[in-house]
Amino acid sequence: MTRLSVNINKIATIRNARGGNVPDLQKVAIDCQRFGAEGITIHPRPDERHIRYQDVFDLRPIVYTEFNIEGYPSNSFIDLVIKVKPEQVTLVPDPPTAITSNAGWDTIKHESFLKEVIAEFKNVGIRTSIFIDTNLKNIENAAKTGTNRIELYTEPYAIQYPANKEIAVAPFVKAAQCAIQNGLGLNAGHDLSLENLKFFNEMVKGLDEVSIGHALICDALYFGLENTIQMYLRLLD
């Protein structure tokens, strides 16, 4: 069964809109795990517009499943991750001003940089994943960086899914095969939803984990958090 990691950035966005501590980010993280989520994902950005750096330290003691921290590997991000020691760090190529992750790494152009950063994390026992698109050369070269896994950037799949789901998923099927052939673990995330997740999970073989935030939190407004997590888990079973 593919594992579900819940990205709770949107909870922090709502909290920050009013100040104070409502909704309580730590309680939501505890509840997500209690309701069946097998991981908690966060993406602290330099401007702390949703997840704050202090949140990362506060969450560490209460995440007893898998703690996955996403982000661009700036010096401050690397220092934070090494101090907190999550089970997994996911490297994304976002500039600081990006609204959300919208592209994967060019692992050929940035091979030496990624090698250096990944070595730092591996030295302290943190599993590393690289956010990446379906370009097979990038996936093949990802293996040369020393990363443990890749995370497939799935927004193109989500956009094309309503028109033709078979065409939408085809590049991801090939990308997954390439990853496995090159000894890489396989994660996926970005715009996966109740509508498109089941088909993706059935067609893309070897998925270890999906990270879902925006769609899941939006669904929880209608269905409730516990019920929504259970709905997503059933799609992954």
| Angle value at C-alpha 70, between 113 and 139, nearest 5 degrees | 55
Q: What are φ and ψ of residue 207, in 5° steps?
A: -65, 130
Residue 29 and residue 59 in contact, taking contact as beta carbons nearer than 8 Å: yes
Catalytic residue among 38, 43, 66, 151: 43
How far apart CA 198 and CA 195 sit, in angstroms, is 8
120 is catalytic: no
214 is catalytic: no
Catalytic residue among 66, 70, 151, 209: 70
Catalytic residue among 50, 66, 151, 190: 190
The catalytic residues are 43, 70, 190
